[in-house]
Structure 1
Amino acid sequence: MRALVFRGPWDIAVEERQDPEAGPGEVLVEVLSTGICGSDLHGYTGENGRRFPGQVMGHETVGRVAALGPEVTGIAVGALITVHPVLSCGACPACAAGLDHRCPTKRIIGVDPAISAAFAELMVVPAANVVPLPENVPVEYGALVEPLAVGHHAVERGRCGSDDTVLVVGGGPIGQACALAVRRLGVTRIAVSEPHAGRRSLLDDIGVATMDPTAAALADQAAEVLGGAPTLVIDAVGSSRSLADALAVCAAGERVVLVGMHEPRVSVSAYSVSLEERSLVGSYCYTGTHFRETAAWVGSAPPELARLIEGRVSLVDAPEAFRALANGDDGSSKVLVLPDRG
């Protein structure tokens, strides 16, 4: 099979590798489409130190079941599926509580260098991590389940309700996912702060109000667009600057969710938290339940999902796509890698 192999910072290339085979309890997947995630880009540039030479990355994926390993039942060859990337032990207290993403021994497809992941023509995954999709859903939507699940989990972590007024800081793929998750809960007062004009245009196209944080004070814009200070702010960037903005605009006594991971360390004004009694909540990844709930929603084929995809490349063209996205030459929000387009 062909696979996109990370060789080191700013170096990724297509290589021929042996076709994998499904073992006991595993499924062989023919990959149809895989999204390039921000974490993939940070790994590609060497920023996050979480990708290693020889690794095949990719975790936002959709495919078809190509073969079943021994002992696998209940899954049909040829079925359209996505893959829950978190591999947990299933026996620890976190797993027993349905919080598999907090499992102390978890491994994540696309992050663990020992797992050949989704930027390839084929991949092997545990049958328990296969999540079916309806045959009538646009195939590419399956590659959006993973980032959309991140947004769904962040919104749940913020205890979002239909009466909330919500501001999302950052309009990239995770910010878009958060905005859509908020809207699924019936929230009507929602806006996204995003300096990039192209991303504001995308959000406008899917019916989410936007504001440009470089144009005027965020608090003033929130008052105008939302009618007052937001009761829930979701930081989908994850920098000292974005978190400061989130805390500054959040109503007293309310909640800020930190889901973005742009910087591994951020500074926080203690007074912004303590004096106004704001709650700062972390959000990472998703539970298996939240992933499957998101897959079910994607399976209903919401029409706005088509607008989230702004680029498609073959495996052969993927190295140039990585380079262009990482250095800012390409401002596309979500780019998919399609193995069969080369």
Structure 2
Amino acid sequence: MSHQSLVLTHFNQFEVKERTLVELTGDSAKVKILATAICGSDIHGSTGSTGRRFTDQVMGHETCGIVEKVSPGSNSDLLGKRVVINPVISCHQCEICSSGKEYLCRSRKVLGVTKGIDGAFAQYVVVPTANLALIGDEVSSTLATAVEPLAVGYHAVVRADVKPSDTVLIIGGGPIGQAIAFACARIGVRNFVISEPSESKRKFILSFAFMSLAPSDLSGFFESSARPTVVFDAVGNAHSFSDAFKFSDIAARIVLVGMDSPDLAIPSYEVSADERSVLGSYCYTNKEFAETAQWLGANSQLVAPFISDVTPMRDAPEMFEKLHSGNFEYNRIVISQDE
């Protein structure tokens, strides 16, 4: 069947076009898309600057929809259910998948990112049923798109083995930094602060009742407060990575989540002499993704401001133009299929 999709026809250029939907194979489902968020990686990738998006691609990996059809032998109980989609498609057969780390599968593919795998900026998408997680009716379809970034934040906190007694610094107050803050609150961390240079973003972060400081205020703040035992770099450039070491305590865990720069210098003495640990964090397990969907169901009011704007798919090309201009303040924008 054909369906309408938002296609990256050329870098910096989108068109809503008819696209042929792939057939159901194996244990898979056809999902009617309700809403899909625009990730920062979609914005930067659509310029061609990251090398992780391609022309003639349908992007979109933070999504919510309704299961309309399943392949023969698949779980028919999913039919008609509202779901969120884990975009990391793994083989579920290798030793890595068997160990519960299927997001690190060597043959993984990512919906809307991997070339040839059409994503959810579309009316329909076909995905493995193993990648579906139920989402409660108390969560709107637009807010349900937040499950994916929230799962990124939760996995980072799990990866760092954060305890409620830890003191946490989050560098970067964008959606991923916010997601890490939600994860800290989720596990009971009381002492965490977000470093964010933008005054407007700091004011926005107050809508979640999270503490946020300008980077220039961190030195004074940590003179009268315990230094962080865990630092999350949700930016990933030379300046943010330097701050992670500058403000962390000895033996701290530094977790690199942001991907702004492909190469970063590590201050080796601050790692070896003070025994800091440097960890990478990328996606999440299927279990963490499904548990995050459940958590959002119980905390939808807290997370509600996370989605700042909604646009119908027909207007999505113009929305990407606004995003590329850099003159538009937003937090997370959702493309809705509900006209």
Question: Could you say which residue in structure 1 is the equivalent of 2:263?
Answer: 265
Shift of 1:73: 1.8
Aligned AA (1:288): N
Q: Does 1:230 align with 2:232?
A: no
Q: TM-score, normalised by structure 1?
A: 0.94
Tell me how far apart the structure 2 counterparts of residues 177 and 208 of structure 1 sit (CA, whole Å): 11
CA positional deviation for 1:323? 2.4
1:37-116 superposed matches below 5 A = 37-116=39-118
Q: 1:185-204 to 2 correspondence within 5 Å?
A: 185-204=187-206
Residue of structure 2 equivalent to 1:142: 144
State the shift of 1:326 in Å.
Answer: 3.0
Higher deviation after alignment, 286-295 or 14-23 = 14-23
Structure 1 residue 21: deviation in Å?
A: 4.3
Question: Residue 37 of structure 2 contacts residue 63 of structure 2 at CA under 8 Å; is this kept in 1?
Answer: yes
Deviation at 1:261, TM superposition (A): 0.5
Do the aligned partners of residues 304 and 67 (structure 1) sit closer, same or farther apart at CA in structure 2, a change above 3 Å counting?
A: same
Q: Which residue of 1 aligns with 2:219?
A: 219
The counterpart of 2:128, out of the listed 120, 126, 129, is: 126
Using the TM superposition, name which of 100-109 and 322-331 deviates more: 322-331
| Deviations 1:242-280 (CA, angstroms, capped at 9, x unpaired) | 000011100111111000011111222222322322111
Contact map agreement 2:21 2:126 (CA 8 A) in 1: no
Q: Cα distance, 1:74 vs. partner?
A: 4.2
TM superposition shift of 1:188: 0.8
Instruction: Report SS of the residue matched to 1:45.
Output: coil
Equivalent residue for 1:29, pick from 28, 31, 43: 31
Q: Deviations over 1:11-57 (max 9, x none)?
A: 12211223454334211111111111111112111121011111101
SS of equivalent to 2:249: coil
Aligned residue pairs, count: 337
The aligned residue for residue 160 of structure 1 is 162
Q: Is the 8 A contact 2:31 2:126 kept in 1?
A: yes
Q: CA RMSD in A?
A: 1.5
Structure 1 gap segments, 5+ residues each: none
1:313 corresponds to which residue?
311
Cα distance in 1 for residues equivalent to 2:198 and 2:217: 16
8 Å Cα contact 1:33-1:336 kept in structure 2: yes
- Structure 1 letter corresponding to 2:131: N
Match in the other structure for 1:249: 247
Given the superposition, is the C-alpha separation of residues 18 and 340 from structure 1 closer, same or farther in structure 2, using an over 3 Å criterion? farther
Q: Aligned partners of 1:250 and 1:147: how far apart in 2?
A: 25
Indicate the percent of aligned positions where both proteins have the same amino acid: 39
Q: How does 1:272-311 map to 2 (within 5 A)?
A: 272-311=270-309
Output the amino acid matched with 1:80: R
Q: Which residue of 2 aligns with 1:10?
A: 12
Once the two structures are superposed, residues 160-219 of structure 1 have per-residue CA deviations (whole angstroms, 9 ceiling, x without a partner) of: 000001110001010000000011111111110011222212211111000011xx2522
By how many angstroms is 1:156 displaced?
Answer: 0.8
Distance, in Å, in 2 between the alignment partners of 1:140 and 1:92 is: 34
Residue of structure 2 equivalent to 1:205:
207
Separation in structure 1 between the aligned mates of residue 34 and residue 248 of structure 2, nearest angstrom: 41
